[in-house]
């Protein structure tokens, strides 16, 4: 009887603890995914900059900073850029673009670190000229996690999706150089997808350990009582 109880007890404890850690793995693998497509704002009357732009981004936990001679970043409608029909947003009509001299850059910083950052480089509908550009992801210590980019392009071309990955992406910097000859100072972008991994609750492994300890304690007490009764 004693060996039968002991084996059953250990099997039960093993099943409980295994189930807890399977749930922990599943919880840890889940992710928070947020899409920012800039279409919640009405840019039909002109480019959106300043407080309306920063307030919109802040709603997604994003802070914007801009660098470069006469550089400015705004949300603009593809119906208005160069008279309309020149470039194509990937969702709706609004895109995020930067104007100014050369080179220019802007940085998106995130309130919650990301595991990946996805964005679309918009399409060129009419023959167009896009600048040299790059997008680089950094962590909190300003170490480079990943980077993507393109050389200058001239002509018509489809939109392309790019993804930056890394542990705890805290910011992404877009840098552009039109060398004074290309149609855009920096690359117009659309449809940001922010993915942040859900952290494992710190108490979960402790809970598993405590449950195992309680089970073992109960088994020892029953074993001792059985021995005294024998």
23-44 pLDDT, tens per residue?
444 444 456 999 999 999 999 9
Structural domain spans, the chain: 2-28+202-229, 31-197
pLDDT at 95: 98
51-67 pLDDT, tens per residue?
999 999 999 999 999 99
Q: How far is it, in rounded angstroms, from Cα 176 to Cα 99? A: 10
107-157 pLDDT, tens per residue?
999 999 999 999 999 999 999 999 999 999 999 999 999 999 999 999 999
Q: How many C-beta atoms surround the C-beta of residue 117 within 10 A?
A: 24
pLDDT at 29: 47
Residue 205 main-chain phi, psi, to 5 deg: -60, -35
Label residue 159 by pLDDT band (50, 70, 90).
Answer: very high
Q: How far is it, in rounded angstroms, from Cα 150 to Cα 133? A: 6
Q: How many C-beta atoms surround the C-beta of residue 77 within 10 A?
A: 22
Q: Left if phi > 0, otherwise alpha if psi is -120 to 50, otherwise beta: which for 212?
A: alpha
The architecture that CATH gives domain 31-197 is: Sandwich (2.60)
85-94 pLDDT, tens per residue?
999 999 999 9
178-219 pLDDT, tens per residue?
999 999 999 999 999 999 976 555 544 554 455 455 555 555
Q: Check: CB of residue 128 under 8 Å from CB of residue 155.
A: yes
Q: Check: CB of residue 189 under 8 Å from CB of residue 164.
A: no
Tokens of 121: 């480089």
Q: What is the 3-state secondary structure (H, E, C) of the chain?
A: CHHHHHHHHHHHHHHHHHHHHHHHHHHHHCEEEEEECCCCCCCCCCCECHHHHHHHHHCCCEEEEEEECCCEEEEEECCCHHHCCCEECCCCCEEEEEECCCCEEEEEEEEEEEEEEEEEECEEEEEEEECEEEEEEECCCCCEEEEEEECCEEEEECCEEEEEEEEEEEEEEEEEECCCCCCCCCCCEEEEEEEEECCCCCHHHHHHHHHHHHHHHHHHHHHHHHHHHC
pLDDT at 35: 98
Q: How far is it, in rounded angstroms, from Cα 56 to Cα 17? A: 45
């Amino acid at each position: 009887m004693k060996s039968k109880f002991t084996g059953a007890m250990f099997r039960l404890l093993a099943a409980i603890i295994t189930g807890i850690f399977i749930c922990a793995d599943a919880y840890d693998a889940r992710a928070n995914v947020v899409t920012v497509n800039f279409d919640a704002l009405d840019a039909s009357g002109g480019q959106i900059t300043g407080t309306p732009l920063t307030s919109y981004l802040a709603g997604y936990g994003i802070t914007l900073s801009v660098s470069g001679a006469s550089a400015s970043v705004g949300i603009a409608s593809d119906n208005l850029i160069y008279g309309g029909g020149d470039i194509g947003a990937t969702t709706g009509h609004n895109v995020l673009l930067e104007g100014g001299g050369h080179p220019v850059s802007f940085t998106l910083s995130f309130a919650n670190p990301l595991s990946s950052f996805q964005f679309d480089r918009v399409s060129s509908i009419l023959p167009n000229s896009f600048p040299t550009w790059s997008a680089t992801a950094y962590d909190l210590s300003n170490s480079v996690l990943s980077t993507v980019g393109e050389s200058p392009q001239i002509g018509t071309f489809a939109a392309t999706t790019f993804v930056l990955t890394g542990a705890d992406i805290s910011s992404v910097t877009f840098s552009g150089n039109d060398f004074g000859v290309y149609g855009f100072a920096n690359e117009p972008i659309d449809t940001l997808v922010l993915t942040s991994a859900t952290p494992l609750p710190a108490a979960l492994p402790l809970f598993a350990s405590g449950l195992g300890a309680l089970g073992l304690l109960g088994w020892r007490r029953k074993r001792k009582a059985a021995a005294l009764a024998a």
